[in-house]
């Protein structure tokens, strides 16, 4: 029997965006927020006020849990039908409540910081707070490194229309241009996929030319948004006494600078190996040398197609060889209709996995078109759902993990399934195509993202002295790309700083290195899984469960027995990935010989 390709939302709140149960739920949440906002915080921490402190903290967690439930559900509604106006309206309500939760935690955090150490440690020794001590300490430490609470509150209020305003302005500027390409009107997003993914090199080149030309036309206001946003950030950090631009993103990722430096040094030393891949790929594409618009171009053949039922079987069967628990979980999620996979108009693009904490379930959103890529997306998102699944019995304060480790389970699943697809491939052309997608990931994480990190680091250094012109930004970008791509391309993309949304995200600064970190971290976990076989299953679960309760170095030490601040772990992870280069080159040569 064919599987259902649509998800079940009715068992969560029946009736979609008009669900009376959903509206009641959100109204009650809104009322409970108001109660929390109007309640004074408990007095100085001591034996008489401890119970009150515990209650106040529990209320904040509970509001967060329920908000997450509402946000996840409404997120599902707006994704499955872009014309659901009622859902969009609810989404805006949720955003406002999320801001209120943020304010609540800012106050709590500041209050934590004011309590004496001994009373604080006694408080955290009591259940249920002992299980979330890591998170509460983290919040307290953060407040201690910031300015006085009234100054932080002022900065926060000013940031709403200042700092974050630059991000919104960028959204407006970058969403504006419509282009005509090949006689068809297109958004810049569509043009970008022509320049990266079109099989025809002339089409890619023409799309790239138009892409650069279009961004050049709006580069001035983009540069202004970037300069002003960065100026705001630098001023705020100065007032907090923070001397490193990386302090905030490292804190967000529970990582130290030594680990990050160790990772980048190993990548810098080893990524030149990818130039062999560049050369082989250039030959396949009929280019003398790769240009920017060639780096992600498809090679080989990818005409194999799967029904959704076949894809689900392929994913589950191959996960089972590695770990029966992930397979059983995935089968359950598929059969219980946690996945929206149908290919129909009116859905949003992309894929995600979202958790419904009150049901201890997840929902996966994607559009399955039958391609090998769709197979990978299914495996990837099921990995996120599994990560959530093994953590549901933990309290909310122990379930918050950073972006750096968020992709551990998803990339792990993807690796298992991609390797299986490679084994199952029927021809050299298919094998080439699968290996190329793996190596394109390596380009993306080891070169492309590295160039973004190098650019952003250099930009902030210069910006501390003065605003940068469009030409100066272009020059910094190209310099970073030349370094990261080892001078291996004939053309670069100097206006990348304008075209990439990530540089303008104010809520998560340096929205780049956590991707590379997660990719290599997952590669390290996979290496261990391969080495240990079935014994790894319970270890894997223990690692995933601890992602919300340990700093990243401690997590790696405890569960992988490795030191992230030293090069060894990174060397193994990078070597594993780059081992595919020689296989790819050998396959290309075989292909060439058999054609002759």
Binding-site ranges for Zn ion (CB under 5 A): 410
Q: Which residues pair with 362 in a beta bridge?
A: 355
Question: Toward Zn ion, which CB reaches closer, 363 or 431?
Answer: 363
Distance (Å, whole) CA 311 – CA 208? 34
Q: Are 556 and 521 in contact (CB under 8 A)?
A: yes
**CB neighbours of 28 closer than 8 A, spacing ≥ 6?**
none
Question: Toward Zn ion, which CB reaches closer, 56 or 410?
Answer: 410
**CB neighbours of 330 closer than 8 A, spacing ≥ 6?**
315, 316, 319, 382, 385, 386
Question: Toward Zn ion, which CB reaches closer, 410 or 552?
Answer: 410
Q: What angle do CA 345, 349, 353 make, to 5 degrees?
A: 120
Min dist CB 80 to Zn ion, Å, is 19
Q: Are 407 and 520 in contact (CB under 8 A)?
A: no
Distance (Å, whole) CA 57 – CA 105? 9
Min dist CB 414 to Zn ion, Å, is 9
Tell me if residue 255 falls in helix, strand or coil.
coil
What values do phi and psi take at 505, rounded to 5? -75, 115
Question: Toward Zn ion, which CB reaches closer, 410 or 415?
Answer: 410
- For residue 60 the two structure tokens come to 């904040």
Q: Are 383 and 39 in contact (CB under 8 A)?
A: no
Distance (Å, whole) CA 83 – CA 79? 9
Question: Toward Zn ion, which CB reaches closer, 21 or 373?
Answer: 373
- For residue 550 the two structure tokens come to 């340990």
Q: Are 546 and 559 in contact (CB under 8 A)?
A: yes
Distances (CA, A) of 265 to 72, 99, 275, 576: 39, 38, 18, 17
Q: Which residues pair with 179 in a beta bridge?
A: 186
Closest-approach residue to Zn ion (CB) = 410
Question: Toward Zn ion, which CB reaches closer, 379 or 480?
Answer: 379
How many residues does this entry show for the chain?
Answer: 596
Question: Toward Zn ion, which CB reaches closer, 367 or 467?
Answer: 367
What values do phi and psi take at 383, rounded to 5? -65, -45
Q: Are 517 and 255 in contact (CB under 8 A)?
A: yes
Min dist CB 508 to Zn ion, Å, is 15
Q: Are 421 and 375 in contact (CB under 8 A)?
A: yes
Question: Toward Zn ion, which CB reaches closer, 79 or 410?
Answer: 410
Beta-strand relationship, 339-340 and 361-365:
parallel
Min dist CB 379 to Zn ion, Å, is 11
- For residue 148 the two structure tokens come to 């006085």
> CA dihedral defined by 430, 432, 437, 442, rounded to 10 degrees?
160
Question: Toward Zn ion, which CB reaches closer, 92 or 349?
Answer: 349
Question: Toward Zn ion, which CB reaches closer, 361 or 410?
Answer: 410
Min dist CB 26 to Zn ion, Å, is 28
Q: What is the DSSP letter of 146?
A: S
Q: Are 494 and 480 in contact (CB under 8 A)?
A: no
Question: Toward Zn ion, which CB reaches closer, 388 or 591?
Answer: 388
Distance (Å, whole) CA 62 – CA 40? 18
Question: Toward Zn ion, which CB reaches closer, 352 or 392?
Answer: 352
Min dist CB 380 to Zn ion, Å, is 6
Distance (Å, whole) CA 363 – CA 365? 7
Q: Are 487 and 211 in contact (CB under 8 A)?
A: no
Question: Toward Zn ion, which CB reaches closer, 388 or 397?
Answer: 388
Min dist CB 406 to Zn ion, Å, is 7
Min dist CB 547 to Zn ion, Å, is 14
Question: Toward Zn ion, which CB reaches closer, 227 or 410?
Answer: 410
Min dist CB 506 to Zn ion, Å, is 22
Whether the CA torsion 91, 94, 98, 100 is positive or negative: it is positive
Distance (Å, whole) CA 395 – CA 100? 21
Min dist CB 420 to Zn ion, Å, is 19
Min dist CB 307 to Zn ion, Å, is 24
Distance (Å, whole) CA 379 – CA 4? 17
Q: Are 266 and 567 in contact (CB under 8 A)?
A: yes
Tell me if residue 246 falls in helix, strand or coil.
coil
Question: Toward Zn ion, which CB reaches closer, 195 or 391?
Answer: 391
């Amino acid at each position: 029997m064919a599987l259902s390709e649509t998800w079940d939302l009715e068992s969560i709140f029946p009736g979609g965006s008009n669900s009376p149960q959903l509206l009641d739920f959100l109204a009650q949440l809104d009322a409970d927020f108001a109660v929390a906002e109007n309640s004074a915080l408990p007095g100085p921490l001591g034996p008489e006020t401890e119970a009150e402190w515990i209650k106040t903290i529990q209320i904040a967690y509970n509001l967060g849990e329920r908000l997450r439930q509402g946000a996840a559900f409404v997120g599902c509604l707006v994704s499955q039908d872009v014309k659901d106006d009622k859902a969009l309206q609810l989404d805006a309500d949720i955003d406002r409540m999320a801001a209120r939760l943020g304010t609540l935690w800012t106050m709590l955090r500041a209050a934590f910081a004011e309590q004496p150490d001994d009373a604080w440690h006694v408080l955290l020794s009591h259940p249920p707070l002992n299980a979330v001590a890591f998170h509460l300490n983290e919040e307290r430490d953060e407040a201690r490194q910031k300015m006085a609470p009234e100054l932080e509150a002022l900065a926060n209020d000013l940031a709403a229309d200042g700092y974050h305003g630059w991000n919104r302005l960028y959204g407006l500027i970058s969403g504006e241009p419509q282009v005509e390409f090949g006689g068809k009107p297109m958004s810049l997003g569509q043009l970008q996929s022509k320049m990266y993914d079109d099989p025809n090199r002339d089409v890619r080149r023409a799309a790239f030319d138009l892409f650069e030309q279009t961004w050049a036309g709006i580069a001035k206001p983009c540069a202004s948004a970037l300069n002003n946003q960065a100026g705001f950030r630098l001023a705020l950090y100065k007032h907090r006494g923070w001397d490193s631009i990386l302090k905030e993103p490292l804190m967000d990722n529970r990582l130290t600078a030594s680990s990050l430096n160790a990772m980048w040094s190993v990548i810098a030393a080893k990524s030149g190996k990818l130039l062999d891949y560049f050369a082989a790929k250039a030959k396949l594409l009929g280019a003398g040398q790769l240009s920017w618009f060639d780096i992600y171009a498809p090679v080989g053949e990818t005409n194999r197609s799967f029904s959704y039922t076949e894809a689900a079987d392929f994913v589950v069967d191959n996960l089972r060889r590695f770990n029966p628990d992930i397979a059983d979980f995935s089968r359950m999620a598929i059969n219980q209709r946690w996945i929206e996979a149908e290919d129909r108009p009116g859905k949003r693009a992309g894929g995600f996995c979202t958790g419904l904490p009150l049901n201890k379930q997840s929902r996966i959103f994607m559009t399955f078109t039958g391609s090998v890529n769709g197979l990978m997306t299914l495996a990837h998102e099921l990995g996120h759902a599994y990560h959530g699944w093994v953590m549901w019995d933990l309290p909310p304060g122990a379930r918050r993990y950073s972006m750096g480790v968020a992709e551990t389970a998803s990339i792990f699943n993807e690796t298992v399934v991609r390797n299986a697809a490679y084994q199952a491939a029927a021809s050299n052309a298919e094998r080439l195509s699968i290996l190329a997608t793996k190596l394109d990931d390596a380009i993306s994480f080891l070169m492309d993202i590295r160039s973004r990190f190098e650019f952003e680091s250099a930009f902030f250094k210069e910006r501390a002295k003065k605003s940068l012109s469009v030409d100066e930004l272009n020059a910094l970008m190209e310099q970073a790309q030349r370094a990261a791509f080892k001078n291996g391309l004939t053309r670069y993309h100097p206006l990348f700083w304008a075209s990439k949304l990530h540089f303008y995200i104010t809520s998560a600064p340096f929205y780049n290195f956590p991707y590379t970190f997660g990719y290599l971290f997952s590669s390290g976990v996979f290496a261990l899984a391969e080495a240990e076989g079935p014994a790894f299953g319970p270890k894997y679960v223990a690692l995933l469960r601890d992602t919300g309760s340990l700093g990243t170095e401690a997590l790696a030490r405890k569960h992988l027995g490795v030191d992230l601040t030293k090069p060894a772990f990174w060397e193994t992870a990078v070597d594993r990935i780059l081992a595919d280069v020689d296989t790819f080159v050998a396959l290309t040569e075989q292909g060439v010989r058999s054609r002759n």
